[in-house]
Amino acid sequence: MAPYNLSEKEYRVALKAALVIDAVRDALDAMTGIAARLIDRELTTEAVNILTYVRSNPDVHHETFDYADEMYMVLEETLCPRVMQDAREFILSKTLRTMANYIDTIEAAD
């Protein structure tokens, strides 16, 4: 993932655009950026849910995977193991669109 340094709102717009054109890798990239912004806002449970999904998606670009994995590992060191297990269970049977819908349920930053 290139360090775009976008706002959470911009990543959310990028995610919606990627979904419209079925650009899976771009959508996963945007999700990773959103997760980074959620970590900044201390919404770590939501972030780890997203990062777990991105890391498990077979279509993820290797650079995006590396960035998501780096953030995931930091969270794994600080969060309760149960939160990490819940994230692994949360993503079961989730699709790209259901994850995007999940992200829509998370209140956006101002």
Contact criterion met (CB below 8 Å) for 93 and 60: no
Q: Is residue 110 in a domain?
A: no
Q: Is residue 21 in a domain?
A: yes
Q: For position 2, what pLDDT does the model report?
A: 54
Q: Is residue 26 in a domain?
A: yes
pLDDT tens for 49-74 read 999 999 999 999 999 999 999 999 99
Look at the block and give the residue holding tokens 């979904």.
19
**75: containing domain:** 8-105
pLDDT tens for 86-100 read 999 999 999 999 999
Handedness of CA 53, 28, 33, 66 (dihedral sign): positive
Contact criterion met (CB below 8 Å) for 12 and 103: yes
Q: Is residue 1 in a domain?
A: no
pLDDT at 3 over 70: no
Assign 36 a pLDDT band (cuts: 50, 70, 90). Answer: very high
Q: Is residue 50 in a domain?
A: yes
Domain count, the chain: 1
pLDDT at 43 over 90: yes
Q: Is residue 90 in a domain?
A: yes
Q: Is residue 3 in a domain?
A: no
Kindly tell me the burial class for residue 24, based on how many C-beta atoms sit within 10 Å of its own C-beta (0-12, 13-18, 19 or more). middle
Q: Could you say which DSSP state residue 79 is in? A: S
- Tokens standing for residue 15: 């995610």
Q: Is residue 13 in a domain?
A: yes
